[in-house]
């Protein structure tokens, strides 16, 4: 681990039962159905984790997700109990649904690529004729994806296929759809107050031991969502020019320009310290734009010890 980034963790919390290491987050399962989720500074693009961490990225993602969960808990229940450390969220263990609920307000990214290829159905949902990239859909569309097993890409799936294959029951799926639309509506309103457009995003849900469906993982972060700046959107669309984006798309574009798209045989380009610093600054800009708050850098002199101390203190109060 670099002295100012969290690339991997190896904690042993009281009552710890297991650890799951995702691309960016590490999840510790404790007794009493409690999860401790650590947001690392790892950067993933094209399903590949980059060799160097981005200072403060974990703190930024964790704090945006925490704020957005608080800003939506009146309409959709979530898993979160506390954030005892800038990089850590603690919450209720859930059984995750095996689908990601992707919702799109605009023809961008994956949807735009499919549209350009001549497709007018995405996940069984029709897309109107005559649209340009980044145009607004008449109504937001839900285009679910199946959660990939390690190393595989998530795959588009229709509502019909989800129900046919009993991946989610009809009763539960209707709740997921209702929650997804409500969250996207609230996210759109929050973004508008900050001069932003929430273009598309994904939500993940789980079921608690009591059978309650709750929002889990991250929400409305630049890693899970795409934002445009509202100012200038209409002019750029009218001219057919690219929109100014607020997401980690800038990292993907840099990788593509350096001949990397995660394909076999391709090598991750060297990220200089200057480039890493610029990515960190961009993430801080994203944080401040999305939350409307100044970013306060946490003490990174010994992140491991800081996390261990803060989480232990919190767990002691619970016991």
Half-sphere exposure of 13 (CA within 13 A, CB side): 28
Domain check: are 198 and 65 in the same one? no
Domain check: are 65 and 118 in the same one? no
Instruction: Sort 58 into a burial class: Cβ within 10 Å, 0-12 / 13-18 / 19+.
Output: buried
DSSP letter string, 40-83: -S--EETTEE-SS--TTHHHHHHHHHHHHHHTTTTTS-BSEEEE
Evaluate whether residue 285 is within a structural domain: yes
Domain check: are 31 and 116 in the same one? no
Distances (CA, A) of 116 to 119, 132, 133: 7, 9, 8
Domain check: are 120 and 214 in the same one? yes
> Which residues does residue 2 pair with via DSSP β-bridges, in sequence order?
none
pTM over 0.95: no
Contact of 82 with 90, CB cutoff 8 Å = yes
The pLDDT of residue 153 is 63
Cβ contacts of 31 within 8 Å, gap of 6 or more: 15, 17
Q: How many domains does the chain have?
A: 2
Domain check: are 133 and 192 in the same one? yes
Half-sphere exposure of 237 (CA within 13 A, CB side): 16
What's the domain range around 294?
16-93+261-318
Domain check: are 151 and 189 in the same one? yes
- Taking alpha carbons only, the member of 208, 178, 222 closest to residue 39 is 222
Per-residue pLDDT tens digits of the chain, which is 319 residues long: 345 899 999 999 999 999 999 889 999 999 999 999 999 999 988 888 999 999 999 999 999 999 999 999 999 999 999 999 999 999 999 999 999 999 999 999 899 999 999 999 999 999 999 999 999 999 999 999 997 665 556 789 999 999 999 999 999 999 999 999 999 999 999 999 999 999 999 999 999 999 999 999 889 998 899 999 999 999 999 999 999 887 787 888 899 899 999 899 999 999 999 999 999 998 999 899 999 999 999 999 999 999 999 999 999 998 7
CATH number at residue 238: 3.30.470.20
d(CA 300, CA 304): 9
């Amino acid at each position: 681990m670099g002295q100012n980034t969290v690339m991997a963790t190896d904690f042993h919390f009281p009552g710890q039962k297991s650890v799951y290491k995702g691309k960016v987050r590490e999840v510790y399962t404790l007794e009493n159905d409690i999860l401790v989720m650590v947001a690392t500074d790892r950067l993933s693009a094209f399903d590949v984790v980059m060799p160097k961490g981005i200072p403060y990225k974990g703190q930024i993602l964790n704090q945006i997700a925490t704020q957005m969960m608080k800003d939506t808990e009146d309409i959709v229940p979530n898993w979160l109990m506390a954030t005892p450390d800038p990089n850590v969220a603690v919450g209720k263990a859930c059984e995750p649904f095996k689908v990601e609920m992707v919702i799109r307000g605009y023809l961008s990214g994956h949807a735009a690529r499919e549209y350009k290829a001549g497709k007018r159905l995405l996940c069984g949902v029709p897309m109107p004729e005559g649209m340009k990239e980044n145009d607004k859909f008449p109504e937001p569309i839900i285009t679910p994806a199946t959660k990939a097993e390690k190393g595989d890409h998530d795959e588009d799936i229709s509502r019909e296929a989800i129900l046919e294959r009993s991946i989610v029951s009809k009763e539960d799926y209707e709740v997921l759809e209702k929650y997804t639309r409500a969250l996207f509506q609230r996210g759109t309103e929050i973004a508008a107050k900050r001069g932003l457009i929430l273009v598309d995003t994904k939500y993940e849900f789980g079921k608690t031991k009591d059978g309650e469906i709750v929002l889990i993982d991250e929400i409305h972060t630049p890693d899970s969502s795409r934002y445009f700046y509202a100012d200038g959107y209409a002019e750029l669309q009218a001219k057919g020019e690219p929109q100014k984006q607020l997401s980690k798309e800038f990292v993907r574009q840099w990788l593509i320009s350096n001949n990397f798209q995660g394909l076999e045989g391709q090598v991750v380009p060297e990220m200089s310290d200057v480039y890493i610093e610029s990515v960190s600054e961009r993430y801080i800009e994203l944080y401040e734009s999305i939350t409307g708050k100044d970013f306060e850098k946490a003490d990174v002199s010994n992140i491991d010890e800081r996390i261990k101390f803060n989480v232990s203190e919190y767990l002691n109060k619970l016991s």
